[in-house]
Every structure is written in structure tokens, then in C-alpha cells.
Amino acid sequence: MNRKYDAIVIGAGQAGPYLAARFSAAGKSVAIIERHLFGGTCVNTGCTPTKTLIASARVAYDVRRAHCFGIELPAAGIAVDMQAVQARKKRIVDASKSGLENWIRGLQNCAVYKGHARFESARSVSVDGQVLTSEQIFINVGGRPRIPAFPGIDSVAFFTSTSLLEFEELPAHLVIVGGSYVGLEFAQMYRRFGSDVTVIEKDSRLLSHEDPEVAAAIQSALEAEGIQIRLEAECIQLAQNAGSVTANVQCSIGSPQVTGSHVLIAAGRIPNTDGLGLEEAGVETDHAGFIRVDDELRTNVTGIWALGDCNGKGAFTHTAYNDYEIVAANLFEGNLRRRLSDRIPCYALFVDPPLGRVGLTERDALAQGHAIRIGSRPMTRVARAVEKGETRGLMKVVVDARSNLILGASILGVGADEAIHSIIDVMTARVPYTTLQNTVHIHPTVSELLPTVLGELGPTTGMSV
Ligand SMILES: Cc1cc2nc3c(=O)[nH]c(=O)nc-3n(C[C@H](O)[C@H](O)[C@H](O)COP(=O)(O)OP(=O)(O)OC[C@H]3O[C@@H](n4cnc5c(N)ncnc54)[C@H](O)[C@@H]3O)c2cc1C
């Protein structure tokens, strides 16, 4: 049976539900199709469960160093109850997922379909034996973990970031292949729960997109907690032994083999655009399967948009949500067009201390030909960090020497995931750095040092000096 709607939304992740709600509120009929879990990656296998587990791991860390703050605990030490840790996570995830699902199911004019959606043509989608048609179709299908074709991978019982979240035991020794954002959050979390952890990274340093001193500070924070890090690991091969997994790695230093009890593959993500029938609709993707979109998230086919991770323009919940805001504003609001190119890239890495990031790194600013000035300060010179006993990290701001606009910043330290928003706001307002330099911030906070850092900018460097 064919059903016609004013709009069809494929995927109930971080953009689709809000768009469906906008159509609903406008009195339009809308169908939303979800093949698995409402809330998608963020709610079920991404942000929510990982940050919930990281909070448990942080408690374990705090308790272990209670003596540094003059708090004595019974000599017996602590025990981590992984089942209780997982149960707490499950409660929080389930509440979020069912809250979202109930909200979507309660929307006026909104039909909810459970099943895998597939384009039949540019105007029709099949799901669960039915064909839905619309002049406007919005793709919000997200992504999944990438599994590289390492020799031996098929013979190994490996975890992904999704499956590890369901594991209720504590690995004796977790080997993590991939030293980037997802891998490092899991590394520190499991180390704090009590596992031995080894991170294997093929690059010569962790987090190759970050400035070297920032990546180095994160590496030393992790190593200080006992995490083993193996860089320049070429030709990674995996082998299953009885009760263990061995990774053969050709590293510039260290043993050529790492043996652990369990292995997590954290080697990036790929878009869920295969099996979607994009070819039937004529929708173009790039070489990696990401759907090509223009500055307003329109695909090459009129009447079809792509939002969130599947368009390759962001890999975060806030970028998926911002995609929704752009599309919704351009469909439902006045004449001011919102565009992708207005978005300033920002994100956090939720290791501890966290890294808050916005805009260009120093390296990228120089590569783009900016003449720049740098302001920086170690966290050892931030009173709030000293008082909290958390002096790892640094803050660093990159300013364009000619325009005086802030180009980017990295704040690695306690509270950095919040403090970075001062910089995000000033960059969005497109006002010179002196606006922030002359702002009074609250004492004692990490943010109060940002005006000081901006008052102590270094000399101009870069191509146009
Ligand atoms: C371990 C981990 C930690 C993360 N932590 C953070 C963080 O702290 N902060 C942050 O900002 N981001 C984080 N992310 C990234 C964030 O989760 C994603 O960027 C975000 O969820 C993307 O939203 P989306 O709407 O594009 O896709 P998704 O949330 O993946 O939603 C896509 C939905 O589409 C459905 N779907 C797919 N194909 C079909 C089909 N053919 N038919 C019907 N339905 C379909 C899927 O089932 C899914 O529900 C993390 C990711 C991971 C893996």
C-alpha cells in the first residue's frame, strides 16, 4: 500500500526527530522511520553511555587519590562492580531513549515506522513491506564503527565501541587499536575501572589533528595513569589464542607483540549509506560513502536532504542538531538563509582532563597562511586548577594578527569542556579578541584566565609577517 506524506525522515538520531516535530507543529503530515533504537548513536551507543561510564570511572579515580586531599579511606581499597556500573548506565540511557520515543510517538500528524528504509525512487521509500511517498525526504542515518581489514581480524573476537558498552565484565588487559577520540575515552575509563590498557596507534603521535603539545600533554596524562601507548604501529595483525588476543605490531620502539585479554577496534566510523538504495534515488556520495550536500544540506537531488554524520560535515551530536536547525530555519522561517559554512567547528574530547576545542589549531592557521599571535598558559598557573589538585594541561588561543579575530583555541584542563564556550561565543560574534580580554570573569574559575592569556599574546608569526 502506498502512503503519501508531506515529509519523510529516515533515521531517529540527533536531527530527524526534531525535524519531524517541526513538520508536525506546522500541521504537515510526516513519517519518521527508525530501524533500531530511537535516539541513534548518541543516546544509545555514543555520548550518553560513554559519559555515564566516564563519570563512574572518575569516581573510582577520585576515591583512589582521596589521600591527596587529606581524606583517609579504609585500607581495604576499592572494588569496582561493573554490573552496577553498567546498570547505572542502562538506567540513564533507557530513560533518554524512551523519553524520546514517547515524545515522537505523541507528535500530531507524525507516523512512526519501525524498520529499514530503502529508496525505491527519488520520491518513494520502502519500509516493512510498505511504500511511502513524499516530495521532501530527509536522510539522517548516522554511521557505525569502521572495521579495518587487518590480517587475522576475522579470527578474533573483537569489541567495537558499541559492543563493549554491553560487556559486564572487567577486561584484565584491554588492547585498543586506535589512539583517537573514541579509543582514548575508553582507554582512560577502563584503566580507572582497573584494567591494564594498551593503546596501539599507527601514527607517530596520538590525536594527529591536534597541536603537538596538546596531544603530548594528553599522552603524558594517560601514561601517568599507567596506560601503555604504542605509536608508529605499522602492519597491525591480530591473532586469537586460548583466552587472549595478540596484536603483532611493528613499532619503532618496544616489543613487536602486545597480548591482552580483549581487544577494542576504535578505528573511525563509516556512514550507514550502503543498503539505503541511494542509487535508485540518484543521490550522490563521495568515495567514502558520505552523502554529498551543499551549504544548506541539500543533496544533488531536488527534494532530498542529508543531515548529521552521514553527510561527513560533522561527527558530533551538536553538528547533527545544527544541521537540523539549518534545514528547519530555511524551510520554516523568514528570508535569512542559514548555512553550513557559518558553523565554527567545535568539540570536546572527554578524557580527564577534558580537551575543549574550537576553530583552527596553530598548525592549521599557519598552513592556511594566517599571520598569528599565540597566547598560552599551563594549568599549573590557574588558581582554580591548583585548588582542585588538577593542574594537568594548558590553554592556548590563536589570534589573527591582522584582524585581531580569534581563529581557534585548545583548552586542556579541568573544566575545559565548559570554559571553551567563552571563546566559541566570541568567535561567533566576530568581535576582536580584545572584547574577551576586557571582560570580567568570575574568580576563581578556569575561564577567568582567558582575558589574561589574551593580554599576553606572543609576537606575530606566519607567512604574512
Ligand atoms: C563512543 C562514541 C562516543 C561519542 N561521544 C560523543 C560526544 O561526547 N559528543 C558528541 O557530540 N558526539 C559524540 N559521539 C558522536 C555522536 O554520537 C554522533 O555524531 C551523533 O549521534 C550523530 O547523530 P546522527 O543523527 O547523524 O546519527 P545517529 O545518531 O547515528 O542516528 C542515525 C539513526 O538512523 C537509523 N538508521 C540508519 N539507517 C537506517 C535505515 N536505512 N532505515 C531506518 N533507520 C536507519 C539508525 O538506527 C540510527 O538510529 C560519539 C560517538 C561514539 C561512537
C-alpha cell read off for 418: 565548559
Q: In this predicted structure, which of 16-30, 147-161, 238-252, 269-283 has the lowest mean pLDDT?
A: 238-252
pLDDT of residue 189: 98
The yes-or-no answer on residue 441 being catalytic is no
- Phi first, then psi: what are they for 89, rounded to 5°? -60, -45
pLDDT at 252: 67
Is pLDDT at 249 greater than 90 in this prediction?
no
> What pLDDT, on the 0 to 100 scale, is given for residue 359?
98
Q: Which is nearest to 318 in space by CA: 338, 290, 348?
A: 348
Average pLDDT, the chain: 95
Taking the model in full, what pTM does it have?
A: 0.96
Angle subtended by helix axes 82-105 and 16-25, to nearest 10: 30
pLDDT tens digits along 17-57? 999 999 999 999 999 999 999 999 999 999 999 999 999 99
Residue 308, helix vs strand vs coil: helix
Report CA(13)–ligand 1 centroid distance (Å).
6
Give the pocket of ligand 1 (CB within 6 Å).
Answer: 10-15, 33-37, 40-42, 45-47, 50-51, 116-117, 140-143, 161, 182, 272, 276, 308-309, 315-318, 320, 350
Residue 417 CA to chain centroid, in angstroms? Answer: 13
The burial class, CB within 10 Å (0-12 / 13-18 / 19+), for 7 is: buried
List the one residue out of 35, 270, 318, 275 whose CA is nearest residue 161: 270
Q: Ligand 1, residues 270, 317, 319, 323: which to mutate, most atoms within 8 A of Cβ?
A: 317
| Cα 270 to averaged position of ligand 1 atoms, centre (Å) | 11
Per-residue burial over 101-135, b if 16 or more Cβ lie within 10 Å, else e, is beebeebebbbbbeebbbbeebbbbbbeeeebbbe
* C-beta of residue 237 within 8 angstroms of C-beta of residue 418: no
pLDDT for res 242: 84
pLDDT bin (cut points 50, 70, 90) of residue 244 is confident
Q: Tell how strand 355-359 and strand 406-412 pair up.
A: antiparallel
In the predicted structure, residue 351 carries a pLDDT above the cut 60: yes
